[in-house]
Structure 1
Amino acid sequence: MIYITRRETFNAAHQLYNPKWTKEKNREVFGLCSNIHGHNWELYVTVKGKINEETGFVMDLKDLSKIMKNEIVDKVDHTFLNTDVPFLKDKLPSTENFAIEIWKILHPIVPNYCNGTLHKIKLVETANHFVEYFGEN
Structure 2
Amino acid sequence: MVINITDIKQFIKEAVMDVLDHKNIDKDVPYFKDKVSTTENLAIFVWQQLRELVPSRLQLFVKIHETDKNSV
Q: Same-fold call, TM > 0.5?
A: yes
**1:89, 1:130 → 2: CA distance?**
24
Aligned pair count reads 72
Pick the structure with more helix per residue: 2
TM-score by length of 1: 0.47
- The higher radius of gyration belongs to 1
1:64 aligns with 2:8: yes
Per the alignment, in what secondary structure is the counterpart of residue 66 of structure 1? helix
Q: Which blocks of at least 5 consecutive residues in structure 2 are unaligned?
A: none
1:119 aligned onto 2:63: no
Question: Would you say 1:73 and 2:17 are equivalent positions?
Answer: yes
What's the TM-score, normalizing by structure 2? 0.82
- State how far apart, in whole Å, the 2-side matches of 1:126 and 1:81 are: 20
How far is the alpha carbon of 1:94 from its aligned partner?
0.1
Please give the root-mean-square deviation of Cα atoms over the aligned residues, in Å. Answer: 1.7
Cα contact 1:107–1:118 (8 A) shared by 2: no
Greater strand content: 1
Specify the SS of the correspondent of 1:93.
coil
CA, structure 1 residues 126+84, in 2 after alignment: closer, same or farther (shift >3 Å)? farther
Do the aligned residues in 2 keep the contact of 1:106 with 1:118 (CA within 8 Å)?
no
Shift of 1:130: 1.8
Name the % identity.
35
* Contact 1:122 1:130 (C-alpha < 8 Å) held by counterparts: yes
Match for residue 15 of structure 1?
A: none
CA distance in 2, matches of 1:65, 1:84: 23
Segments of 4+ in structure 1 off by > 4 A? none
